[in-house]
Amino acid sequence: MQIDHIKELIQLLDQSSVHEMELETSDFKLSLKKETQTVVGAPVMQAQAMTPQVPAPQEETKVDDSTPSEATYRTINSPMVGTFYSRPAPDKPSFVNAGDRVEEGQVVCILEAMKLFNDVEAEISGEIVEILVNDGDLVEYGQPLFSVK
C-alpha cells in the first residue's frame, strides 16, 4: 500500500464517527485509532467558543452605523480541529504577520491533525489586524484564527 493511500485512510477516519479501524492484507497490517480525549473535548470547547460569537453580529450592525472598531473586523476561521503553526518550519518566517495584506487563497498557517499538516488558505482578502492564537495552540473547528480588516 502506498503512503498516499494510508494518508487518505487517516483523513477518512478523522472525518468519520468511527474511532478505530484495522486493515490487513497478505503484505501488511494497519491499525488506526482516534484519541478519545480529543474527540470528547472538541464539542464542549466548540460550544463555548460559539456562545460569545452569537451576539456579535447584532453588535457589529450597530457599530457599523457609528464608528469603526474591532467588531467590524472579519475573521479567518479554523476549518478543522488541530494544532496551529504560523510558519512552515521552526527556522522559517511566519506565513503572515499583523499588518500584512492577504489575498483570497493565500496560505496563512498550517494545522496539524493526526500527524498530517494541512495548509489553511485565506477565504477573504484584507489586512491582518491580529493573530488570535499562538504557535502550538490546539484550535477547534470554526475558531477564529486571524482578524482581518
All structural domains of the chain with their residue ranges: 56-148
State the Cα–Cα distance between residues 103 and 142, nearest whole angstrom: 20
State the Cα–Cα distance between residues 54 and 130, nearest whole angstrom: 21
pLDDT of residue 11: 78
Render pLDDT for 41-72 as a digit per residue (tens, 0 to 9): 444 444 444 444 544 444 444 444 444 555 68
Report helix, strand or coil for 83: strand
pTM: 0.52
State the Cα–Cα distance between residues 68 and 66, nearest whole angstrom: 7
pLDDT of residue 34: 72
Q: Does the structural domain 56-148 have CATH classification 2.40.50.100?
A: yes
pLDDT of residue 71: 63
Q: Enumerate residue ranges in the chain where pLDDT < 50.
A: 37-52, 54-67
How far, in Å, are 17, 53, 83 from residue 78 at the CA level?
Answer: 20, 15, 10
